[in-house]
Amino acid sequence: MAELFYDKQADLERLKGKPIAIIGFGSQGHAHARNLADSGMDVRVGLYAGSKSWAKVEAAGLKAMTVADAAKEAQIVMILVPDTMQAEVYREHIAPYMTPGKTLMFAHGFNIRFGQIIPPEGIDVSMVAPKSPGHRVREVYEQGGGVPALVAVQQDASGGALADALAYAKGIGSTRAGVLTTTFAEETETDLFGEQVVLCGGVSALVKAGFETLVDAGYQPEVAYFECMHELKLIVDLFYQGGLNYMRYSVSDTAEWGDYTAGPKIVTDETRAAMKQILTDIQTGAFAEDWIEENHTGRQRFNAFRKNDVDHPIEQIGLELRRMMPFVGPREVRPGEGGA
């Protein structure tokens, strides 16, 4: 069984007098930096010269500086730029300053697990990975709570890497909810698998296929949208609150019967075999190699996938319907044109 840590088992005093550099001020970066600062830590934010986030950092009352200056000055360096940027940022701006006794931290293990970043000996390497988008990390902290997180140690040169990581987790509020021990490999592999098979890839494909099946059979696309996408949140909220049992308790007996009888027809032995192959590709590094190569060669397939899906009929219908439902808090974005 994994070990769980809470507030009483984490000591913020371990971080006092240790300058912390948060590299990046995006979804996770802004939350970590602001929460740590509010917890009394000495925080600075590392950005590339000319970053649009520079003014946002200063408006939040934080110190902004270049990545290199932040890494040079800090005792603890947390890298929170996108996975695809981390290796280059580390090599060019951080590695020269990772001297013995410092700590290098991550919120996702991808670049360590797949060897894109190889830290030197003599430093601690650890991870604190909140299980929530950054805006929730910040919101829940401000409300007096915290979101759960995973913690892992890859390299413990000081003998205190876990204790320091737990202190960091406390600084962002996560020990209020509970911090679960893991490894860089387990976090990375399960995170990628969950994204691909269920949370993003699986759900997106299922929603589109259900919508297309109804529309192709002659049903109104607006009705198909409500049944296959809009109501998904209602079910996911039930999962979130009480698992599969609470969902089945909350829906009608007819819906529960359909759950039992139709589910296995959708997730078949062939589907499970595909899941196992996806997991194998993650474990062996085949997925990572393909994704890294895709980024090195201009993202042609990635951009084609994005272009093909951005104007899918379910997106067009959904856009119109959400504009009629201000109570859902509609958001209108096109992937690749920026965002949170």
**Structural contact between residues 205 and 308, judged by C-beta atoms closer than 8 angstroms:** no
User: Which residues of the chain register pLDDT less than 50?
Assistant: 338-340
pLDDT the model gives residue 120: 97
Task: Give pLDDT tens digits for 7-29.
Answer: 999 999 999 999 999 999 999 99
Helices (H) and strands (E) in the chain, counts: 16, 9
**Residue 164 CB contacts under 8 Å (≥ 6 apart), including other chains:** 14, 15, 76, 103, 124, 126, 158
DSSP 227: I
Specify the pLDDT at position 335.
76
Query: So what's the pLDDT on residue 337?
Result: 60
The separation between CA 196 and the C-alpha centre of its own chain, rounded to angstroms, equals: 13
> What pLDDT score does 339 carry?
39
Beta bridge partner(s), residue 22? 45, 78
Angle between helices 286-296 and 300-310 (to 10 degrees): 90
Instruction: Provide the angle, in degrees to the nearest 10, between the axes of the packed helices 286-296 and 269-284.
Output: 70
The pLDDT tens digits of the residues spanning 90-124 come to: 999 999 999 999 999 999 999 999 999 999 999 99
pLDDT at 340: 34
Would you state the structure tokens that stand for residue 171, as one six-digit string? 């600084």
pLDDT score, position 333 = 83
Which residues does the annotation mark as catalytic?
Answer: 108
